[in-house]
Structure 1
Amino acid sequence: MGSNYLSKGIKRTALSLALGACFVGGVSAQSNSAGAINGTAGAGDTITIVSPDTGFTRTISASADGSYRFSALPTGKYKVTRNGADGTSSSRDIVVSVGTAANVDFVRAAADGSANTLDAVTVVGTNAINPIDVSSVESTTILTAEQIAKIPVPRDITGVALLAPGTIKGDAAFGNLASFGGSSVSENQYYVNGFNITNTFKNLNFAQIPFEAIAEQQIKTGGYGAEFGRSTGGVINLITKRGSNDFHAGGNIFWEPESLKETTPNLVYNNGRLVSDNSKDNGWAATASVWASGALIKDKLFGYALLQYGKTDDAGYPGSLSGGKNTQSEQKSPSWLVKLDWNINDNNLLELTAFSDKRKTDTAYYYTNFAENSVKPERGTYVGTLHEEDGGENYALKYTGYLTDSFTLTALAGHGEFSRSNHAIQADGSRISYDGNLNSVVGGCPIVRDQRPSDRRDATGIYSGCDFATSLNRADAKDTRDQFRIDAEWLLGSHVVKFGYDLDDFETVDGTAYSGNYYYQYLYHATAAQDYVRRINIRQGAEVKVEQRAFYVEDTWNITDNFLVYGGLRWDSFENKNGAGETYVKIDNQFAPRLGFSWDVNGDSSFKIFGNAGRYALPLTANVAVRGASASLYEFQDFTFTGVDPVTGAPLGTAPCELRNCYTEPFYANGEYGGAKNPNSIASTNLKPMYQDEYILGFQAQLTDHLSAGVRGIYRELKRAIDDTCDYRPIVDWAVNNGFTEDDVFGGLGNPSFPYCRLYNPGSDGVWNIDVNGDGTIENVRIAAGELGPKAKRTYSALEFFWEGAWDKFFLQGSYTYGKSKGNTEGGVKSDIGQGDTGTTQDFDYPELAIGSFGYLPNDRRHTLKMFGNWDITDEWSVGGNLLVQSGRPLNCFGVYGEDPVHYRNSYFSCDLGDPNGVDNGSTVVPRGTAGRMAWTTTFDMNVAYRPSFAEGLTFKVDVFNLFNSDKPTSVDEEGENSVGNPSVRNETYLTPLYWQAPRTVRFMVQYDF
């Protein structure tokens, strides 16, 4: 399907649906921030479009074959008028949406080749569905602000994106993000009015424009053209509201009261131990917005401005009967957006988009007390407060020039900033912060976690000590983007040729360190029957850059009046730089071809067959350089101990540990000892971008004037991935085979030219420039792919059934997706364990970690049913609903493999299937996804709106989310053994919930718009 629309659509008769507003002859190459109008008229006729909102006017002449096209148009309503050479004229009203071509045909070729005028067709009639977009080969859903307001849906970009077919919500460990077509949540791109707002640090965030300011949201789930790149998932394209000649203003308030909010279930371990009492969790949220728009100069200069302020207040009581901490969190979100549009003249437009999305969150921590003979948690002594700041300001200036009737040029320049710093204040008023210096003292209490079996823990329970800030970001951490792009469109007869170039520079200041300098893990060695403690110190800090360039060209060729072919070519170049400004990865001209077709079978937009094939590449994110290519520290050492500090939880009476798997001397994991790294040794010299091939074939049919439906088959295959390997054993083998000794190599492990972890394409040979013995001479080391581990594999196959219906006072849209996601890597992140180190997961660190790794992936949700709609009961009352039914994700059983050959503890696809009480009977491989599946989840949301007739513009609305308060887990603990291979953990924590469905909440709204 080209475009799914939610609205009731343009009102038309059945005849006008088939002829007057059909999309025959349209093209799929559309701007990422504008739309188009095209169609047929008489040769030499003049066609004029006028925006009734802004007075914007353009006039062009139809070509010799009668075709015409208005490119790069601002979205909105237009009147299209044909003036014939014979003095006749006729008009149509049309709506232009982002990324689509709205067609108005005034003349249609008859079977004998003569021209039939369609002047008698008028755009009036009943509330029919939108015509099938035969001009597009993409899989796209477009939702307008009016449509979104009718559905009970969260007021955020991801919430709306999840309405589209083929999207599912990603693991909660990564925040509120969507997975598209089996890809990881780190593989998407986000735009506002053509400006890229994706946070390229990890690709796990994006700038948040005030939700009230969104006019349209376009969700591209597949088949998108060469104009879009740097994505192997999906694209979310936002268009903001803008001013017009008419003055408009208004305001609204949204409120989610604490008294009507349910809580998640208590977390109880399998042995009956209460770990988190959530019965007292509570909180409220409120958001207020005011806006105004209008003409600063009539027909010339227009403005839209919005100011929004949000506040949330949440209390949480995690912690067991034996201790823990509870929190009181407050977030303040002042944001604003300004949109200016200057119609310099009919041929030149200039627009400015500016917005801010800064947020401040203060979380106060308290010890948790339990009253005598009570299991209800109570707030105890104040520990300290964590202060977090994120967000920033973004500015984008865009020019559109209609240089001739057939040539259009657009240019955009933008700048964006995003801060993400934090610091903490302890109860005594002292400050805890990190400045990025690897040798600096952070201050505060060390992180302490007791990971021993329950019968070995002391009175402090699973959490101990006085830490609360845990990992700290640099105080000056932020991301900066500078983007410039230029796009041109040239109409050449039956061809629409489009080409462009974009430059996208992204700079990151980042660094993290542990509060109190250290992280202590209390562990138990079952074989030796001995407690011990591991002390870990991880620090990093750098200023790194990603420089991205791309060029594309595409052609949409209308071979006949009802058959078009699309072809696109894209070349991407990426350059990643470390903290010293040195290039460690540079890839030029990654080639990504695209091909598609659309066949309007009956010639009246009633039945469409479409298909496409494309290649999509993904660059390396900035976070890789902060730790992997810049100076970093990863030190740990094991000790026995005689006691525990009652305040800090730190071990007392420590002594070097001599047990199996203990490190008696400081061990610098991955060779991270605080020294600079040689940038030429970080990445394989033959490194290429991650890329995926995609194939889609489908059809869509108009069943009645009010109902359309379709189906598409989708197949995606990850052809190449980027990840890191930390296995130095093949390097040692190469060295020995080339005249070095093992002592030579191990003497060189402490030099910056011998990084333990190195980037490569899993499944390809690794070729690194390494000083293997630390003598200052660089050796070119080639390691065969088979020695490094398996090839990265991921496939996604799906059938998507979708439908849309619209009647006089009722609309309904939905989809059912049957999909499979299979492979040995999820992609950029690892939902199995919540690992968000984009591009450097542990999947391919050592070949042993890949044993049993092939199977169904975390985003394999086999069945997904979505249904949403709205019914206008009367002119004043309406009711909406939103249903999601989804099967659960596959489960794993992680444990220790054999004798833990690479010291990754319980990170293998291996579990002891013997005595559940802890007798070590040896590990058995449990292949990925074969430990069962989570339960199905059902969520139903509804709303009721009242628009009193006595006060035009006034609306009251109540949304109830998760009406039936379904509380199934959405992710669980998949560790079937503890860190030393003791399977008794299965009886205690295995498959206990980590996250649940969001509990029932009620949201009230009052809005006045005039």
Structure 2
Amino acid sequence: MSSTRNLRKSVLCIAMGLCLSSMAVVPALAQSATGSVTGHAAAGSEVTITNPDTGFSRSVTADADGNYRFPFVPVGNYNVEAPGSEPVPIAVTLGNATNVDVGAGATNLAAVQVVGSRVVTPIDVSSTESATNITAQEIARMPVERNVSSVALLAPGVARGSAGFGGISFGGSSVAENAFYINGLNVTDFYNRIGFAEAPFDFYREFQVKTGGYSVEFGRTTGGVVNAVAKSGTNEFHYGGKFVWGPRDWESEGRDSYFEGERYITRSYDSTDSKRLNVWASGPIVKDKLFFFAMYEGRDIRPQRTDDEGEPFYDGKSDDGFWGTTLDWQVTDNNLLSLMAFSNDNSTASEVFDFDPENGTRGAKIGDVFSESGGSNWALTWTSYLTDDLSMKLMAGDNKRNDVGRSPADPECNYVTRGSGVPNPGVAIGCNFNSSVYDRADEREQWRADFEWALGDHLLRFGLDREKNTSVLDQHYPGPGQYQYNVYSTEPGTFISSSGGGIVPDGYYAYVRARRYELNGNFETTNSAWYLEDNWSVSDNLVLNLGIRNEGFDNKDELGRSYIKMDDMWAPRLGFSWDMKGDGSTKVFGNVGRYFLPVANVINIKQGGALLDERTYYAFDGWEILQYNGVDYASPILGEQFGYYNGQGDGTLGDLRSEVDADMDPVYQDELILGFQQQIDATWSWGVRGVYRKLHNAIDDMGITATPCGRISTQWVMANPGEDVTFWGDTDCDGEDDGYVTIDTSKEGYWTETDHYEFTGGEWEYVNSTPNGQVGWEKPKRTYKALEFQVDRAWDDKWAFNASYTLSWSEGNAEGPVNTDTNFGDTGRTENFDDPFVNLNGYGPLANDHRHQIKLRGSYAFAENWRVGATLDARSGGPITAFGVGSPFDWDSYHSYYICVENCTLPENAVEGDTWSTSDRVFELSRRGGAGRMPWIIDLGTSLEYERSFGAANFRAKLAVYNLLNNQKATWVYQDLEPGVGDRDEFFGQERYLQSPRYGQLTLSLEF
């Protein structure tokens, strides 16, 4: 029966005079909300496309070889016609070329699909990219969580970030290397590069997820790209509403984590009750000319949670609405103007209550916490078809994001934390539940121009774009003195080495870190680029894509001076697509390219601003019980001070010439892809892809302690580890900085030494340090190798199916600008290169190394009005590393791949005259990933949908269940085996972050 149906579709295509173009295939411009239509007709004949929904019509003349092309075509349904053929209905999809032969030149090709009354081309033989297109209609048939990240996760090789800062990983890259676009507007978070501005699901029409090989109009990413287009209006008025309900009672209880019978993380009281009601309308303002789509979503989100200890209890409310709109004006047949705008401002107010987690009872209110996020976004785009061969697209846009956290208790109450193993005082810890007084506003002002110019067998594509990214920040800790108090368990004699602490005094099993942190200012970054690409139709079935992109990044300090500036970054990209049989059914493609990653604005702020980061260490003398607003709380009693450090920032803006490499190289990645796709019949296709990625360089802060003149006080320099570093210093060894000094950090730059102690007068006394010479840094390394297999069956009003399997290896000694394994999400300021011993012998499987990944999705119409859908995402767990904090080569270090096993701390039972040196320590190597793997993560979703029409009304009801099996496996575990030299963290290997519990969601919609 299936083969008969497919045959009928092929015959229908022949009857309509349609085939996939076998001549002069060229790709679509994918940067904005458009696709393209290309093909073959009789030489000199006029080919016309018409959108029956909007009245848009445009004609071009086929060239002497019969080739024609319509660039910059808005996504939608069209009819294509030429003399000698009836109008052919087609679908233009985001970022793709729809290839159609019409008129007297049309021939039979079986590799086409009829979707409803529209013909689409399943294999784009003109494209050299690796991309997955997913429409809103496809998503509606499946249980896909209502956010853009969940859509991206449907593509092969994309995995959810496992650490606390979230995000998604493309092809082994870190979660801070991606780019996100809506209608051509870059909405990526440029402050930390992990998040992005997002609209509600029902604002979008289609998504394109690019996992590699993207063309030169895309840049500023070494991960992946998610390109989305918003809905728009037509000549018919439509309107409707949708209610999305996720009741708290449909959410399974979160699983608490226990260690030796004691609960250390409480999740069982965390839940959310959500209600969303959106209303929308679309239609013509002026028929065939001006159209609108408008949407408003009201929200009532009620999150509830406790902290890890199960107290206090946070009861939140968020009820800000969303609005979004698109306006499309067909000024003439050759000129289009479109506007996309939305506001996703959101605020959450949480009341904080005393709470007894043992019996789940809520006590008195003890505080309030407020947060704000989101902002306004708009993009205005002008498209002109200047001639049949030359087209232009201009865009101006603005993207705003706010991030605010505050509490009424901020002026009077400090924030206090208690680590595992520290005695519980039995009352609230501290009198403030806001960890930081934080107010940040980010704004991206964006301009770009894109052109296409057809010259015979060559299609030239060129353009330029510019972004001005501004961050305004005011941040400090709450409470008197603006101190945050962190209480940690320890052992007497432990050296607190990671941030300038000293030796924990005898008799103390906990210490207090009093940290003062202040930062404010206005910081700006300018990113600019231009590109040129030649898409050359070498023959009827071979296309070469030859492109070059030139990038420039300029990160400025709070005074507006260039801090990190890199120009003339050349990104060549070469791709090919071979239509093997000449009928569009079988394609071999490949590409090789270079991609650059910009420096996040957080670096301007924290390295190019007047940062104060002051840390004072005290012995812990117990808890003092105090009161605030009539409620008891505990504050740490500060004992003997044994350490102080402000090397990360002393509150002044230093001479940036001495804090940044004057000749810095950018971070970039080279990528090689080779793939194959084949259309089996009108609905089935399959493909395989091999991927190799190699990351070059890192930009991070390095603790330089030595120059050719010898030892210097620690100088934190933003630079390329393992490369030559040039900064302002002492050139003639007279003790004065007077010029630029260049050192090869692969061999030198860090002064090593051992510390010596003597037992005198009944206690250990520090004697001296012994120099051991200079050492250098290992160069950062990251490679990704993968094989991807995929099979797809297109929807035919009955069922659809997609399956993929990815076998991959992500290896090296540096994940990227964030550290998942140590749960550090401050982009570009990792510990990886603070000193040479952090990464020494640290090569191995990286945090995003999921060796196996299986993805399934599909839907089935089992009755006239009923459909079921399912998705499965199964991936093997990431590696576990047992991190230490020391090395056998130096007395001080941050995270390291060495564990001290003998003579780690000052000896007990010492007698007069005994000596001890840090060189007496005995270390063992602890390999990256050497502590095993986290468990497989399996996430199964199911949905049941009912749809029925009542005259002009269409009703849908969909019940979706996410994580149906309620798997709550660990996605991340504690990986600090040695919190202090010689100490062992009993929580090493214990779970910290888990899969979200099962929850259900009901969607009801009515459309007219």
TM-score (norm 2): 0.89
User: Residues 415-426 of structure 1 correspond to what in structure 2 (within 5 A)?
Assistant: 415-426=398-409
Q: What runs of 5+ residues in structure 1 fail to find an aligned partner?
A: 1-7, 109-114, 427-431, 433-441, 658-662, 737-741, 750-755
Does 2:728 match 1:769? yes
**Cα distance, 1:276–1:326 mapped onto 2, change above 3 Å:** farther
User: Residues 342-381 of structure 1 correspond to what in structure 2 (within 5 A)?
Assistant: 342-369=329-356, 375-381=358-364
Pick one of 905, 908, 932 that aligns with 2:896.
908
- Kept in 2, the 8 Å contact 1:401–1:409? The answer is yes
* Alpha-carbon offset, residue 126 of structure 1: 8.8
Letter in 2 for 1:780: Y
Distance 1:935 1:641 in 2: 38
Pick one of 414, 434, 458 that aligns with 1:469.
434
- Kept in 2, the 8 Å contact 1:583–1:679? The answer is no
**Cα distance, 1:116–1:268 mapped onto 2, change above 3 Å:** closer
In the other structure, the counterpart of 1:5 is: none
In the other structure, the counterpart of 2:25 is: 26
SS of the residue 1:355 aligns to: strand
Pick one of 643, 656, 665 that aligns with 2:641.
656
Pick one of 674, 685, 706 that aligns with 1:697.
674
In the other structure, the counterpart of 1:154 is: 145
In the other structure, the counterpart of 1:106 is: 102
Distance 2:112 2:799 in 1: 23
* Alpha-carbon offset, residue 774 of structure 1: 11
In the other structure, the counterpart of 1:386 is: 369
**Cα distance, 1:950–1:295 mapped onto 2, change above 3 Å:** closer
**Cα distance, 1:10–1:153 mapped onto 2, change above 3 Å:** farther
Distance 1:23 1:613 in 2: 25
Does 2:659 match 1:682? yes
Report the identity percentage.
Answer: 35
- Kept in 2, the 8 Å contact 1:448–1:650? The answer is no
Pick one of 222, 225, 249 that aligns with 1:259.
249
Pick one of 485, 505, 508 that aligns with 2:448.
485
Does 2:852 match 1:863? yes
In the other structure, the counterpart of 2:765 is: none
Does 2:1003 match 1:1001? no
In the other structure, the counterpart of 1:40 is: 40
Does 2:195 match 1:183? no
Pick one of 787, 791, 808 that aligns with 1:803.
791
Write the deviation string for residues 480-504 of structure 1: whole angstroms up to 9, x where unpaired. 1111101110011111100001111
Pick one of 647, 666, 686 that aligns with 1:669.
647
- Kept in 1, the 8 Å contact 2:544–2:575? The answer is yes
Write the deviation string for residues 493-550 of structure 1: whole angstroms up to 9, x where unpaired. 1111000011111000124322222222334333334244332212222211110110
In the other structure, the counterpart of 1:561 is: 540
**Cα distance, 1:97–1:879 mapped onto 2, change above 3 Å:** same
SS of the residue 1:158 aligns to: helix
Distance 1:901 1:533 in 2: 25
* Alpha-carbon offset, residue 645 of structure 1: 1.7
**Cα distance, 1:407–1:274 mapped onto 2, change above 3 Å:** same
Pick one of 386, 408, 411 that aligns with 1:403.
386
- Kept in 1, the 8 Å contact 2:886–2:892? The answer is no
In the other structure, the counterpart of 1:95 is: 91
**Cα distance, 1:804–1:484 mapped onto 2, change above 3 Å:** same
User: Residues 880-895 of structure 1 correspond to what in structure 2 (within 5 A)?
Assistant: 880-895=869-884
- Kept in 2, the 8 Å contact 1:342–1:349? The answer is yes
- Kept in 2, the 8 Å contact 1:215–1:240? The answer is yes
**Cα distance, 1:450–1:119 mapped onto 2, change above 3 Å:** closer
Q: What runs of 5+ residues in structure 2 fail to find an aligned partner?
A: 494-505, 627-632, 749-775, 909-920
In the other structure, the counterpart of 2:492 is: 526
**Cα distance, 1:912–1:17 mapped onto 2, change above 3 Å:** farther
* Alpha-carbon offset, residue 459 of structure 1: 3.3
Write the deviation string for residues 428-467 of structure 1: whole angstroms up to 9, x where unpaired. xxxx2xxxxxxxxx5422323245xx3x635359x83333
- Kept in 1, the 8 Å contact 2:142–2:857? The answer is yes
Letter in 2 for 1:977: E
Distance 2:636 2:181 in 1: 50
Does 2:972 match 1:968? no
Write the deviation string for residues 311-360 of structure 1: whole angstroms up to 9, x where unpaired. 2212223444xx74222122234111110000000011000111101111
* Alpha-carbon offset, residue 799 of structure 1: 0.3
Give the superposed CA RMSD. Answer: 2.8
**Cα distance, 1:696–1:589 mapped onto 2, change above 3 Å:** same
Write the deviation string for residues 104-158 of structure 1: whole angstroms up to 9, x where unpaired. 11369xxxxxx67669999869999852111100000011111111110101000
SS of the residue 1:721 aligns to: coil
In the other structure, the counterpart of 1:429 is: none
* Alpha-carbon offset, residue 805 of structure 1: 1.0
SS of the residue 1:624 aligns to: helix
Distance 2:638 2:183 in 1: 61
Distance 1:464 1:379 in 2: 17
Letter in 2 for 1:98: L
**Cα distance, 1:589–1:843 mapped onto 2, change above 3 Å:** same
- Kept in 1, the 8 Å contact 2:236–2:283? The answer is yes
- Kept in 2, the 8 Å contact 1:23–1:133? The answer is no
Letter in 2 for 1:797: K
In the other structure, the counterpart of 2:413 is: 444
* Alpha-carbon offset, residue 669 of structure 1: 2.4
Mean Cα deviation higher: 761-770 or 324-333: 324-333
Pick one of 786, 803, 817 that aligns with 1:828.
817
* Alpha-carbon offset, residue 100 of structure 1: 0.9
Letter in 2 for 1:22: L
Does 2:747 match 1:759? no
* Alpha-carbon offset, residue 173 of structure 1: 1.5
Distance 1:131 1:319 in 2: 49
Letter in 2 for 1:503: R
SS of the residue 2:688 aligns to: strand
**Cα distance, 1:939–1:118 mapped onto 2, change above 3 Å:** closer
Distance 1:241 1:913 in 2: 62
In the other structure, the counterpart of 1:660 is: none
**Cα distance, 1:125–1:677 mapped onto 2, change above 3 Å:** closer
Does 2:313 match 1:326? yes
- Kept in 1, the 8 Å contact 2:10–2:110? The answer is no
**Cα distance, 1:15–1:563 mapped onto 2, change above 3 Å:** farther
Distance 2:143 2:7 in 1: 23
In the other structure, the counterpart of 1:543 is: 522
- Kept in 2, the 8 Å contact 1:362–1:388? The answer is yes
**Cα distance, 1:914–1:800 mapped onto 2, change above 3 Å:** farther
The structure with more strand, counted as a fraction of residues: 2
* Alpha-carbon offset, residue 606 of structure 1: 1.4
Distance 2:568 2:342 in 1: 33
* Alpha-carbon offset, residue 980 of structure 1: 4.8
Letter in 2 for 1:937: I
**Cα distance, 1:460–1:852 mapped onto 2, change above 3 Å:** farther
Distance 2:1004 2:905 in 1: 58
| Equivalenced residues, count | 935
Distance 1:769 1:852 in 2: 31
Does 2:200 match 1:210? yes
In the other structure, the counterpart of 2:688 is: 711
Letter in 2 for 1:525: E
In the other structure, the counterpart of 1:274 is: 263
**Cα distance, 1:707–1:630 mapped onto 2, change above 3 Å:** same
Distance 1:635 1:173 in 2: 25
**Cα distance, 1:467–1:124 mapped onto 2, change above 3 Å:** closer
* Alpha-carbon offset, residue 244 of structure 1: 0.5
In the other structure, the counterpart of 2:764 is: none
SS of the residue 2:816 aligns to: coil
SS of the residue 1:20 aligns to: coil
Pick one of 190, 194, 202 that aligns with 1:200.
190
SS of the residue 1:259 aligns to: helix
In the other structure, the counterpart of 1:438 is: none
SS of the residue 1:669 aligns to: coil
* Alpha-carbon offset, residue 918 of structure 1: 14
Distance 1:51 1:808 in 2: 23
Does 2:829 match 1:837? no
- Kept in 1, the 8 Å contact 2:576–2:591? The answer is yes
Write the deviation string for residues 361-390 of structure 1: whole angstroms up to 9, x where unpaired. 1222223335xxxx3343233221110111
In the other structure, the counterpart of 1:170 is: 161
**Cα distance, 1:272–1:130 mapped onto 2, change above 3 Å:** farther
